[in-house]
């Protein structure tokens, strides 16, 4: 009788292929990837984006109207477009506020050109918190808002250091959201979440 503890058993694992964001765009150009509009690149892998439900779409519309009205000409409001964090990460946040004094708008913005990232989270809440939020912190995005539809509140993550946000503030209906990056941006939670 063989002692299984004494022997090493080799069990093959599936091989994962990691590619850079530039390689991803080259594969699209060559026609090797279809439906790329439905994916984002996280840690060198294509990750299918979740579908957008009615409430998510409604909150996005409210946010876009509010932000475009509230912000001046030096800030570009980008909606559901890529944000180049590095060679292997290009998520597509719901909203990116890009600093037009640093960013010319001719390519996807980089972390140093980004003021605030916003994620509208319902079914994607766990993924946005566990996977995307640490990426934003590692890239030193100054502030991330998670519009938490599941709990009807807004989380504002600030002060990135060592891959995590040092400060998290929670805003509930009836309160006013405060940004440390854009102090004049003070929306009412109800203006974003009420339906």
**CATH number for 181:** 3.90.1570.10
**130 in a structural domain:** yes
78 or 11, which is more confident:
78
The whole-number pLDDT of residue 26 equals 85
In a domain, 122, yes or no: yes
pTM of the model: 0.86
User: Does residue 7 sit within a domain?
Assistant: no
Predicted confidence (pLDDT) per residue in 124-155, tens digit: 899 999 999 999 999 999 999 999 999 999 99
Between CA 116 and CA 77 the distance in angstroms is 10
Rounded to whole angstroms, how far apart are CA atoms 164 and 133?
Answer: 8
Whole-number CA gyration radius for the chain: 20
**Phi/psi of residue 61, nearest 5 degrees:** -60, -45
Structural domain boundaries enclosing 59:
52-193
* Residue 59: partners with Cβ closer than 8 Å, 6 or more residues away: 120, 147, 149, 192, 193
Domain count, the chain: 1
Mean pLDDT for 76-90 is 93
Reported as a pLDDT band with limits 50, 70 and 90, residue 39 is confident
Q: How confident is the model at residue 16 (pLDDT cuts 50, 70, 90)?
A: low
Asked whether residue 99 is assigned to any structural domain, the reply reads yes
Within a domain: 149 = yes
């Amino acid at each position: 009788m063989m002692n299984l503890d004494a022997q090493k058993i080799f069990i093959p694992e599936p091989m994962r292929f990691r590619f850079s964001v530039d390689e991803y765009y080259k594969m699209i150009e060559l026609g090797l990837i279809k439906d790329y509009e439905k994916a984002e690149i996280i840690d060198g892998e294509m990750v299918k984006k979740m579908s957008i439900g009615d409430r998510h779409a409604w909150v996005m519309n409210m946010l876009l109207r509010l932000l475009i009205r509230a912000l001046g000409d030096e800030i570009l409001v980008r909606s559901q477009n890529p944000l180049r964090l590095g060679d292997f990460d290009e998520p597509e946040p719901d909203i990116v506020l890009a600093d037009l004094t640093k960013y010319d708008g001719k390519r996807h913005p980089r972390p140093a050109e980004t003021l605030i990232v916003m994620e509208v989270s319902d079914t994607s809440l766990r993924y946005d918190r566990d996977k995307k939020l640490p990426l934003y912190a590692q890239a030193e995005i100054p502030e991330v808002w998670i519009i938490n539809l599941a709990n009807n509140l807004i989380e504002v993550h600030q002060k990135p250091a060592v891959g995590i946000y040092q400060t998290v503030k929670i805003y509930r209906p009836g309160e006013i959201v405060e940004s440390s990056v854009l102090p004049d941006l003070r929306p009412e939670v109800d203006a974003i979440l009420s339906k």
